[in-house]
Amino acid sequence: MRLFVGLGNPGAKYAGNRHNIGFMAVDRIASDHGFAPWRAKFQGHVSEAKLGGEKVILLKPATFMNLSGQSVGEAMRFYKLTPADIVVFHDELDLAPSKCRVKTGGGHAGHNGLRSIHQHIGAEYDRVRMGIGHPGHKDRVAGYVLSDFAKADQDWLDDLLRGCSDGAAALAAGDSAKFSNAVSLRTNPPRSSGGARPTKGTAAKAPEKPAAPKAAPKQETLSADPRSPFEKLRDKFKR
């Protein structure tokens, strides 16, 4: 069993915030994979289903970001899980928009949701770090993460969320490389490696071969006179 936790702040006021990208990720997984309706539990909202052969519980803490660990710890203890069974989806300032990395353990880098989870279950859980970019100065961080994604962000955001959903079964199975590949196929689809195609209705021209050098003109050769000396002399006097 795996517990997928999406981090965010509850309520319509925060729904479109950059800080709520974790909520958005688990919502997309629930929608795409036929999870059960959300229900209130563990100071949050949960939904469950099977991904591949693995049972997965989705959790969105309703405690606000800085108290997320209370909800996560309660769910972990109820299902008798360990931190290694938990995957947390969260916004990441240190990654460019649309970038995504999976990490196990490590510090919280000042993220209030991760800090709270560290306090309640320790650091040895998996994180899906979803890049939102950095506003450029630390004094602008709070306003930046608590503001909505811009319209210009919608395309890459949708690709990133779809990629997380595509790779969710692999992540549940513990295959982070396959998960990352699924995300990459959405956010950085491969380009065709072929050259330019000929215009429709026309055949591609084969490269022209150099013309063969012209043969030098043959010199005409005079045939030898077939007459005998006597016949030549006779014909001379006939003139």
Enzyme catalytic residues: 19
* Interatomic CA distance for residues 210 and 199, integer angstroms: 25
Task: Give the 3-state secondary structure of residue 44.
Answer: strand
* Interatomic CA distance for residues 1 and 132, integer angstroms: 29
* Interatomic CA distance for residues 91 and 199, integer angstroms: 46
Number of helices (H), then strands (E), belonging to the chain: the values are: 8, 7
Please check whether residue 91 is in contact with residue 130, taking contact to mean a CB–CB distance below 8 angstroms: yes
Strand partners, 41: 44
121: amino acid identity, one letter: I
